[in-house]
Structure 1
Amino acid sequence: MRVYNFSAGPAMMPLEVIEEAQSELPDWKGGMSVMEVSHRGADFKACAAETEQSLREVMRIPHSYKVLFLQGGAMGQFAAVPFNLASAGDPVDFMLTGQWGTKALKEAGRMGLMANVVADEKPSRYTRVPDEGSFSVNPDARYLHYTPNETIGGVEFGYVPSTGQVPLVADMSSTILSRPIDVSKFGVIYAGTQKNMGPAGMAVVIVRDDLLDRARPSTPSIWHYRTQADNDSMLNTPPTFSIYLLGKILAWVNRNGGLAGMAERNRAKADLLYGFIDASSFYSNPVEPASRSWMNVPFLMVNPDLNKKFVADAAAAGLTNLGGHRSVGGMRASIYNAMPIEGVQALIEFMKEFERVHA
């Protein structure tokens, strides 16, 4: 039986995409699975090119940007971005709204950069984002890094930070493809694929052409943006199955109204769940309303001793992976693109019944 999977990642995927891939798994083209074909062969090269073109069309990526399909996930990019955009001792700016931005900051420090935190929401316990215009960017910074959506705390920016001539770098792992964005405002966008783009194992990197030749000489070839771009992300064997599935997910996005359709779908789900939580005296959400994520909804109960029972009973009812991150506790419902509104409705009905029994 299929369940409603509220995992933060690897996350729920569209069932029709899974079934389409299943039907092709033994014989994609020429009596082989897509997992068996050579990445150097014409069939897979065409598949990768089609996936890239679909992503460009769905996200409206300008021609002045390269699209890379890389291994190592988003955490690999915590090191790849410093390698490609700055040298040891260079100043870089960071905005911190949760644990993932903090991890990226620490990696930049290990890479020898002079990292400056221009905004840190730690005093709020990472329950809000900085007010727009409340921070100053160092005009000499090689880049400013931020995390538009923090998966663990459920905190999301409602604006794109203004950085002037300083390249803006965004870890969009948990928000990419959830709504339209203006790619031209960014120098680098990177995202792990295990939330809205398919299975784990790949990072998509979108990098502006003028930033391709900033890499320090010691940059390993596998992380070198220019080298990877010149080799169509095939310097070595790429994550072929992830590229193939991303193409199918992009086709699914297009069938469901593109990014405008995803935004409408995601806004409706988030409004429904937050509305229920806010109207309850049994449940609560710790995030400032203006900073709430569309993708990850943490919630607490009046009696935290009930947390484990809630998670267990929900799983028995077909609502899985609702436990909060181990660092913050409580519960968390991740409602990425593939989660239908019926899943959110089922969660709310379960929450109502749980409250009735245990209030």
Structure 2
Amino acid sequence: MTTHVKIQTAPIPFIDVAAQRARLGARIDRAVSSVLESCRFVNGPEVAILEEQLAAFAGAKHAIACASGTDALAMILMSWGIKAGDAVFCPAFTFCATAEVVAWVGATPVFVDVKADTFNMDAESLDRAVAVAKASGLTPKAVMPVDLFGQAADYDALLPVAEKHGLKVLCDTAQGFGAAWRGKRTGSIGDASATSFFPAKPLGCYGDGGAVFTEDDALVPILKSVREHGQGVDKYENVRIGMTGRLDTIQAAILLEKLDIFEDEIRARETIAARYNALLGDVATVPVVAEGATSVWAQYTIRLAPGRRDALADALKNEGVPTAVYYRLPMHKQPAYSAFPADALPVSEALCAEVISLPMHAYLDEATQDRIIAAVRRALAG
């Protein structure tokens, strides 16, 4: 007698922000109501409190809240005076914002390959990219490692290369805030760091938001000036070119409530990722966390043999399991960035053809995990 297994097809959220809302809803409602009652919608006291708590969480001396992760990156480059003729080194396997801000300030992004296991910047490729930049007549100035998919980059390998070439280190931890390298949390590594509080991030607000972290006392007033239209003694004296980069008070109030449970959510993500790895490791190449690193699992990304990804995505979609591809094109192949210098970047190109991400968030219960795992295993069994 044949037994038929009923396959569920009700849609699963890729990132379930509603589940977190159910947990924190009343607290966030009170926090937002407090801002509404105060009517201090810009630069309210919650912003300064958030900055203090973010710095303490990261183990950084200073945190400067801002309007987005992209603005955070740009504020740092602007404050450092990065300009036309300067080279800033970015991984080829990342979201466009990393390189976008380099072009904003008139400098040139030079692309670097990543490691095949962690997907983070490869120090040997960075060393070669410096030679590429110099051959192009550029002045190497800074490197922007990305803590991709939630995992801290290999700073033991990258920082000596940066020092060798006199590069400032701007850590793009938009996906990795809360992770650590050798016990140091992201935000406390390098010359400065930038993160994002986009709603889908492990620590996300209810709109756009971001923050800059640094140990450099002298950089802080410049960053704050850039954030406020380049103001001097007040907003009507402009001593440098700036932007409108403030974080809204309402978003700060929301983030304060979310930061309070962030440690618990990181632990939940780690548990879910470990379970995924244990139950999918024989059918796909599962994520590797490097020795000395931790991850906040912004995404859970597996790697498949060439040509298998689209069939898996279609099969999972039919079972109500969403997927995403981060990223289909490496930066040096993107139309807007293809003219910028790059050495051979074979790992980034291969990853873009082979990776796919599964649902990941702190509220993914075991029954839902089991459903996702079973669907993946069925699809890859053929």
For normalisation by structure 1, the TM-score amounts to 0.67
Q: 1:335 aligns with which of 360, 365, 368?
A: 360
Corresponding residue for residue 51 of structure 1 = 50
> Which residue, out of 41, 64, 76, partners 1:68?
64
Q: 1:187 aligns with which of 191, 207, 219?
A: 191
Q: Write the distance in 1 (CA, Å) between the matches of 2:277 and 2:142.
A: 34
> For residues 325 and 40 of structure 1, do their structure 2 counterparts lie closer, same or farther at Cα, with a shift above 3 Å needed?
closer
Change (3 A) 1:289 1:58: closer
**Corresponding residue of 1:232:** none
Shift of 1:16: 5.2
**Counterparts of 1:159 and 1:78, CA distance in 2:** 19
Deviation at 1:176, TM superposition (A): 0.5
1:276 match: 279
SS in 2 for 1:247: helix
SS in structure 2 of the partner of residue 204 of structure 1? strand
SS at match of 2:203: coil
Equivalent runs, 1:211-290 vs 2, <5 Å = 211-212=219-220, 221-222=228-229, 238-254=247-263, 256=264, 262=266, 265-280=268-283, 283-284=284-285
The CA deviation at 1:201 is 0.9
2: CA distance, partners of 1:203 / 1:177: 14
CA distance in structure 1 between the aligned counterparts of 2:233 and 2:379, rounded to whole angstroms: 54
Q: Show the counterpart of 2:209.
A: 202
Mapped partners of 1:342, 1:68: distance in 2: 40
User: Using the alignment, how far apart are the partners of 1:214 and 1:69 within structure 2?
Assistant: 14
Do 2:171 and 2:192's aligned partners in 1 also have CA atoms closer than 8 Å? yes
One-letter amino acid of the structure 2 residue matched with residue 296 of structure 1 = Q
Matched, 1:159 2:160: no
On the 8 A contact 1:174/1:191 being kept in 2, the answer is yes
Q: Quick one: distance in 1 between partners of 2:125 and 2:326?
A: 31
Aligned counterpart, 1:88 = 83
Distance 1:326 1:156 in 2: 18
Aligned counterpart in structure 1 of residue 377 of structure 2, from 344, 348, 352: 352
The equivalent residue for 2:102 is: 108
For 1:85-131, what per-residue CA distance to the aligned partner results, in whole angstroms no more than 9, with x for missing partners? 1243463431414132x6533542342225555x3349x79956415
Aligned mates of 1:106, 1:238 — CA distance in 2: 21
- 1:6-45 deviation line (CA, Å, top 9, x unaligned): 34xxxx44845544334653x658xx4645642269xx84
Q: Output the TM-score relative to the length of structure 2.
A: 0.64
CA distance in 2, matches of 1:338, 1:201: 22
Unaligned runs of 5+ in 2: 1-9, 132-138, 236-243, 329-351
Shift of 1:273: 2.0
Structure 1 residues 20, 227: CA separation in 2 closer, same or farther (over 3 Å shift)? farther
CA displacement at 1:252 relative to structure 2: 0.8
The CA distance in 2 between the partners of 1:76 and 1:99, in whole Å, is: 17
Provide the rounded CA distance (Å) in 2 between the counterparts of 1:225 and 1:191. 26
SS in structure 1 of the partner of residue 312 of structure 2: helix
1:120 maps to 2:78? no
Residue type of the alignment partner of 2:113 = D
Distance 1:57 1:237, change over 3 A: closer
CA separation in 2, counterparts of 1:267 and 1:80?
32
Structure 1: distance between partners of 2:103 and 2:89? 11
Contact 1:190–1:204 under 8 Å retained in 2: yes
> 1:174/1:220 Cα in 2 relative to 1: closer, same or farther (>3 Å)?
closer
> Would the aligned equivalents of 2:142 and 2:170 in 1 still touch at CA under 8 Å?
yes
2:217 partner amino acid? D
Kept after mapping to 1: 8 A contact 2:87/2:110:
yes
The secondary structure found in structure 2 opposite 1:146 is coil
The percent identity for this pair of structures is: 10
- Specify the SS of the correspondent of 1:243: helix
Give 1:19-34 correspondences, 5 Å limit. Answer: 19-22=23-26, 25=29, 32=33, 34=35
- Over 3 Å counting, the alpha-carbon distance change for 1:308 and 1:223 in structure 2 is farther
Letter in 2 for 1:253: F
Given the alignment of the two structures, is residue 309 of structure 1 paired with residue 314 of structure 2, yes or no?
A: yes
| Residue type at the aligned position of 1:79 | A
- Count of residues in correspondence between the two structures: 316
Residue 129 of structure 1 contacts residue 155 of structure 1 at CA under 8 Å; is this kept in 2?
no
Matched, 1:324 2:318: no
The structure-2 alpha-carbon separation of the partners of 1:237 and 1:18, relative to structure 1 and needing over 3 Å to count, comes to farther
In the TM superposition, what is the alpha-carbon distance from 1:181 to its structure 2 partner? 1.1
The structural deviation recorded for 1:4 is 5.4
Which blocks of at least 5 consecutive residues in structure 1 are unaligned?
229-234
The code of the aligned residue for 2:147 comes to P
Counterpart AA for 1:174: Q
1:54 to 1:3, Cα distance in 2 relative to 1, 3 A: farther
